[in-house]
Amino acid sequence: MTDHPLVRPHAQVHFGVFFQGVNHTTIWSDPESGSQTDFASFERVVRTAERGLFDAFFLGEGLRLRESRGRLHDLDVVGRPDAVTQLAALAAVTERIGLVATQNTTYNDPADLARRLQSLDVLSGGRAAWNVVTTDNAWTGANFRRGGYLDHAERYERAAAVLRTARAIWDAFPDAGDDVSRVEVAGSALRTPADVAIDPTTPRSPQGHPVIFQAGDSPAGRDFAAAHADVIFSAHGSVLDDALAFAADVRRRVVAAGRPEDDLKIFPGTSIIVGDTPADAEEKARWVRSQQVTPATALSIVGNVWGEDLSGYDPDGPLPAHDPVVEELGGERGSATTGARTREIAQKWRAISEAEGLSIRQLVIRNSGERGFVGTPSTVAEELTRWVRTGAVDGFNITPWIVPSGLDDIVDRVVPELQERGAYRTAYEGTTLREHVGLREPLTRRAAAADVEAPAA
Ligand SMILES: Cc1cc2nc3c(=O)[nH]c(=O)nc-3n(C[C@H](O)[C@H](O)[C@H](O)COP(=O)(O)O)c2cc1C
């Protein structure tokens, strides 16, 4: 392990919790697993996180159900309630914790999004955030009025226009007695047929605007976050050198966008498994992995690449000897690697399997890779503190390994270890999410106060 200097020797660890509701990143088929859609599960997790003084409770978004060769993919949880609706209900059973809704900019209307997110912010007393995503497959687009799809660059251009419009709407809400201030947007910026003139409808909350998160890892995605977001939700939460390289890259982009380099907070997704001894923790982590990637799940994932039903294959045997029967991974499978060349993937997987002697299932377990943090509460606390103090991250967005009880260990055992080290709050100091995360004023309001231009889109 490389030794990295502790450039932020007093930095504090921050936590969010990512209630995924899909994927094989949580054990959903175990008898101990609760429902992934009942309100009681969400409530239990959010209350645990608030007891653990977390900054935020985070919900993703899937606007179309995943399919496998034309059939509903039923090997992980399917279907999630809308995040803003869900968080509005959770606002009523919590007092301090931030509430982050993933909402798509490719299909939503900015006036509608601005109104719904600002409503959540007002109703929760300034605890709302919007995780801006563009969504990466045409297959989702088919569900929407706009239909069709925008290419990668256009999606980020529209995302910038949608976010700029939402912020302008929030800023334009008049104080009592002021003239109505209308937000005019060219249809061309939003890729819609007509220009719009939007009257703001919702007052500002104690934190001014909802906090802005962003999730998207390409250079364009990172630039978008660097120019516009308060927090970047990344997938770089398992290997310290990788996280440090990511942090250096996004901070360069933040400075290039004209902002102080600490203006964008970095919260990677990760998981935490603790045990009484290092060996216990390792054993539990192995068991969790094997429960997440069941034999059927492994065969389905490999079958998606090969483009055929491999359920007759032995998951503990080798990969198919023949080449994939499709050229490209299809969007209809809901895969993040839509369009990838299947033969290239197959060749790479074969090389790894042969070099490391892996069966189909072992390979899928290896590929679904993010190991996260595994150890005793004390060693995990030590590692998390090190990550924050080397400047690799500002906090972690934790996916509980099982819902709804997977956060209990972290709150009851890891948080006290962090507090003993002076690396974690012992009470909420503020009431808003902006205060919990340690953010400055919203970007556009800062620019207005200083009478300077906001960073360009
Ligand atoms: C950590 C992470 C989490 C994401 N979560 C979601 C999500 O919940 N819903 C969604 O539609 N897209 C999600 N995305 C996908 C983004 O919307 C985006 O479409 C995708 O990453 C492609 O953009 P990129 O090429 O900039 O990475 C996520 C991306 C990342 C990196």
pLDDT digit of tens for each residue in the chain (457 aa)? 568 999 999 999 999 999 987 776 778 778 888 888 899 999 999 999 999 999 999 999 988 887 777 777 777 666 788 999 999 999 999 999 999 999 999 989 999 999 999 999 999 999 999 999 998 777 788 788 666 678 889 999 999 999 999 999 999 998 878 888 899 999 888 888 889 999 999 999 999 999 999 998 999 999 999 999 999 999 999 999 999 999 999 999 999 999 999 999 999 999 999 999 999 999 999 999 988 888 988 998 898 889 889 999 999 999 999 999 888 776 555 555 666 788 999 999 999 999 999 999 999 998 876 789 999 999 999 999 999 999 999 999 999 999 999 999 999 999 999 999 999 999 999 999 999 999 999 988 886 666 544 444 4
Say what the pTM is: 0.93
Q: CA separation (Å) from 155 to 74, 82, 88, 134, 150?
A: 29, 21, 28, 6, 6
Burial of 288 (0-12, 13-18, 19+ CB in 10 A): buried
Q: According to the annotation, is 105 in a ligand binding site?
A: no
Task: Give the position, in ligand 1's atom list, of the atom nearest the Cα of 221.
Answer: 26
Domains with residue ranges and CATH for the chain: 14-271+371-444 (3.20.20.30), 279-368 (no CATH)
Query: What residue's CA is closest to ligand 1, atom 2?
Result: 215
Question: Which residue type, as a one-letter code, is found at position 269?
Answer: G
Q: Is 123 in the pocket of ligand 1 (CB under 6 A)?
A: no
What ipTM score was computed for the predicted complex, to two decimals? 0.96
Residue of 130, 136, 253 to test ligand 1 pocket, by largest number of atoms within 8 Å of CB: 136
Q: Is 136 in the pocket of ligand 1 (CB under 6 A)?
A: yes
Say how many Å lie between the CA of residue 448 and the centre of ligand 1.
Answer: 30
Tokens describing residue 448:
């207005």
- The residues, any chain, with a CB within 8 Å of residue 59's CB and separated by 6 or more, are 19, 21, 80, 83, 86, 87, 100, 101, 102
